[in-house]
Structure 1
Amino acid sequence: MLRKLYLLPLILLIALEPLQAMHIMEGYLPLGWCIFWYAVSVPFVFLSYRFIAAQVRREPRRRVDLALASAFVFILSALKLPSVTGSSSHLTGTTLGTLTVGVMAMPLIGTIVLIFQSLLLAHGGISTLGANVFSLAIIGPQAAYLVYVSLSKVISRRSIVVFVATFIGSMATYVTTSIQLAIVFPDPEMGFVGAAGKFLGIFAVTQLPLSVLEAIITVGVIELLEGTRRSALAVVDRAQTLRTLGLSLLALVCLALPVVGGYVDFGSGADDQAGEMVEALATGYEPTPFFEGYEPSEAAEPWLFALQVGIGILIFALAYRAIRRRSKA
């Protein structure tokens, strides 16, 4: 598995670019629907806070696992990949935390990441935050968790179960986003069903190969972390050295890609195509931002995404170091 993981930087190097926008952008939902999705998501976020607080209070060392889960979402959600359809989209990173710290931890973690991106990167939106939290941090993790629990009963090889769960969780996020938009912008002739098919053609089809890649990355990182926890008290641990080198190489590639990708055009994003579809379905529709936040320049945007990746890498590195120390204690 280690050899397979070392191939990931090469895959990422030729595939990734910085993220232009994510999920439903500011102004693309009427105020009533913004309030509705807030009302649906806020209880989950509150319960998530209670869950995390109880976990940390009962076992303070869980802070390390929570930091790893948060860092993973920070890093993966800042990377965008071109797809076979000619559009591009991004990874979610939520299944790792779902399987290591619990599915109920993800609503709060996802909310923190989405707020950070909305305020600093003009990425997503504050008014649409409830809708984006619902798709990324609630439905996606719940789908991954249910698949993981169900498959674990019939498949003994955990890597296969994790792979399928990650794939389904990633796909579920984008299917949910498609449904959210189709409800608001039905097709003039075929209604909700017609609009859902069109949005799924943009989001779900694009996400298929990306969900496979996310599943590979998640399986690889989980196996590396578990190998670290099982490592013996050897003065020279060759396997542990390889794990550290592999993670370090992957981190450097992820950190460099947002900047390098800022000068490479991989085509329009799935979110841009969704915006065009909204305009086609609702003739004359004009997005109405309810929150005018900071808008980075084109020159600054790649560096800000690199900053997000860098924050994620720093948190991940500190948590990984704590795990290594714990494994030797």
Structure 2
Amino acid sequence: MHIAEGFLPPVQAAAWTAVAAPFVIHGARAVVRQVRDDPDSRLLLGAAGAFTFLLSAIKLPSVTGSSSHPTGTGLGAVLFRPPVMAFLATVVLAFQALLLAHGGITTLGANAFSMAIVGPWVGYGAYRLVGRLGGGLSLAVFFAMALADLATYSTTSMQLALAFPDPESGFLGAAAKFLSIFSVTQIPLAIAEGLVGVLMIRILRDVAMPELVRLGVLKDPAAAEPVPADRTEA
């Protein structure tokens, strides 16, 4: 889903950068606030960024000028909320463009909009919805990861369709074509990513429960315990 360097028309590349910039700036402020208010969360914050980097660096050739891969942004959105991931995932995309030639600098705004903004917000929305419906943490994280991935690929498909409309069917025809081509690889990847997310949240529940409680992902077990009755009365 990383659109390659120079693949978008310059005007569209600039427009996507302008649209993404406010979210990224807001996300940078959210990261500063998170570290200031909870310094102990820095390790988990770094782990969320590294997790996104590793998963989204696994790429499979797909639509010309793009690729299919997991995103990893759903887990970070669950842990730290989507604004934080808008900044972290954009940093990840910038490093991948510079170090791995995965994506590009001129297309960074478009890639950030799909993977760092739309994906985390859709994933977080799915997480909250499944939680409200009583689905449990593992199921909520599965849908957060899978739908963040699918939302990212859907947005990229729209971006490519806008840049390269079909000569006969226009934007809608091109969007349908890109979506259908991406789906061959992206749907299985989204399911696999959801399962990886479930595994990761279970590991974090074992090794970093205090951090998850502070972040509001888990309830404090002590607070849930009943208060003993007063046995001093006759």
Q: Please confirm whether the aligned pair reaches a TM-score higher than 0.5, indicating the same fold.
A: yes
Of the three residues 174, 177, 182, the one matched with 1:203 is: 182
TM-score in terms of structure 2 length: 0.84
What's the RMSD between the two structures over aligned residues?
A: 1.7
| Aligned partners of 1:34 and 1:130 also within 8 Å | yes
Distance 1:188 1:129, change over 3 A: same
Residues 47-75 of structure 1 show CA distances to partners (whole Å, capped at 9, x for unaligned) of 00111111111111121121110010111
2:97 equivalent to 1:145: no
* Match runs of 1:1-329 below 5 Å: 23-80=2-59, 89-230=68-209
The offset of 1:101, in angstroms, is 1.6
Bigger RCO (CA 8 Å, 6+ sep)? 1
Judge conservation of contact 1:65–1:101 (CA < 8 Å) in 2: no
Letter in 1 for 2:83: M
Quickly say closer, same or farther: Cα 1:32–1:82, change in 2 above 3 A.
closer
Q: Residues of 2 paired with 1:180 and 1:190: CA distance?
A: 16
Give the residue type in structure 1 aligned to 2:193: E
Unmatched 5+ stretches in structure 1: 1-21, 232-329
Rounded Cα–Cα distance in structure 2 between residues aligned with 1:138 and 1:156 = 25
User: Post-superposition, which runs of at least 4 consecutive aligned residues in structure 1 deviate over 2 A?
Assistant: 80-83
Cα distance, 1:230 vs structure 2: 4.5
Structure 1 counterpart SS, 2:59: strand
Q: Which amino acid aligns with 1:213?
A: A
Question: Quick check: 124-133 or 184-193, which moved more?
Answer: 184-193
In 2 relative to 1, CA 81–30 (structure 1 residues): closer, same or farther, beyond 3 Å?
A: closer
- Find the residue that maps to 1:24 and give its secondary structure: coil
* Residues in 2 aligned to 1:107 and 1:38: alpha-carbon distance in whole angstroms: 13
- 8 Å Cα contact 1:81/1:210 also seen in 2: no
Spell out, residue by residue over 1:174-223, the C-alpha distance to the aligned partner (whole angstroms, 9 max, x if none).
00000001011111111111000001012233200010001101110111
Per the alignment, residue 289 of structure 1 pairs with none
Q: Is the 8 A contact 1:140 1:170 kept in 2?
A: yes
Per the TM alignment, residue 89 of structure 1 is displaced from its structure 2 partner at its CA by: 2.4
- d(CA) in 2 for partners of 1:25, 1:56: 33
Structure-1-length-normalised TM-score = 0.60
How many residues are aligned here?
206
Q: Using a 3 Å threshold, how does the CA distance of structure 1 residues 182 and 81 change in structure 2: closer, same or farther?
A: closer
